[in-house]
Structure 1
């Protein structure tokens, strides 16, 4: 789903500034979708031009005016239609998985380092999910609860795989490297 459509989705939760929308991408969406100001603000401008959101400018002393965005009824319809049309697929792009696939071409120590880094990242993501749940005010609605638990399941399984299978990969690579060092050909 594109950033424009996701901005509409965030605005179904209530009015927000561009900064607050970015906070949703960095918080609730962090483990499954990323977007920066460079894509959020142009998306909001396009949505406003199409009449899918309204913009209210609020004066701030000593700072530029703050823009508050609200979804329009047409914007809500457009977002709901997009949700209905969206095929539930996932796209994964992972430099880590590319390194692991071609691990035999790298020194075992580099693979060991990559595994440690990735395990640390997975632990950070899991801690962030736990923190967001602890900081949630009141009951977490079913949809956000599902995504939080899904994130825990995926990243927990990934961490377990890295921790249990990673050492065997490094060991196998080291053994292959040792055999190749002794090979006179």
Structure 2
């Protein structure tokens, strides 16, 4: 599993960044699909990277604002990132509240279950539309474009599966409600 230190090295390999800018990459940027790292894990990771000589801190004048700390990856940091990238990745794990709820969906009122599924389909369709527009307007590295395309394929497949099979689970919930 990729740790927060490595994720920070990945962001910094793209250019100097502040802790806030690194956090934004995990919220809105291309790394938002890999981690939900917050300031509580980013700043300790940056401290360890500094201590290990994998990054350096650059003072930055904020033009009348408080100075912010910019971080830059060192050659040793690039080597550490490369070493991690060349390892065999751990198997993917999918953790999803929706999948948990759907596992027990037959126990829910059919109308409620149908709404949950319909809302998620709408969410996926919005994400798909956003990714399609961003893909056309945002400069990305070849790897980011590849991963974005892979993410689009996953979202499209899940949305289509939910659309084509939701009736099966809703029907099971309807049968369960008639038995109860």
TM-score (norm 2): 0.89
| Superimposed CA distance per residue, residues 7-56 of structure 1 (whole angstroms, 9 cap, x where no aligned partner) | 10111111111222222222212233322222222211221121110101
Ranges in structure 1 where 5+ consecutive residues have no aligned partner: none
- Tell me the distance in 1 between the aligned counterparts of 2:108 and 2:155: 25
**Whole-Å Cα distance in 1 between the matches of residues 32 and 124 of structure 2?**
12
What is residue 12 of structure 1 aligned with on the other side?
13
Partner deviation per Cα, 1:86-117 (whole Å, 9 max, x = no partner) = 42521111111111111122222221122122
Give the structure 1 partner of residue 157 of structure 2.
Answer: 157
RMSD between superposed Cα atoms in Å: 1.8
- Where in structure 1 do 4 or more consecutive aligned residues deviate above 3 Å? none
Q: Deviations over 1:50-100 (max 9, x none)?
A: 111010121325533111111000011111111112425211111111111
Larger Rg: 1
Query: Is 1:22 the counterpart of 2:23 in the alignment?
Result: yes
Q: What residue number does 2:142 align with?
A: 142
Give the secondary structure class of the aligned counterpart of 2:70: strand
Report matched runs for 1:1-185 at 5 Å.
Answer: 1-25=2-26, 26-61=28-63, 63-137=65-139, 140-178=140-178, 180-181=179-180
Tell whether the 8 Å contact from 1:55 to 1:69 is kept in structure 2 after alignment. Answer: yes
What number of residue pairs does the alignment pair up?
A: 178
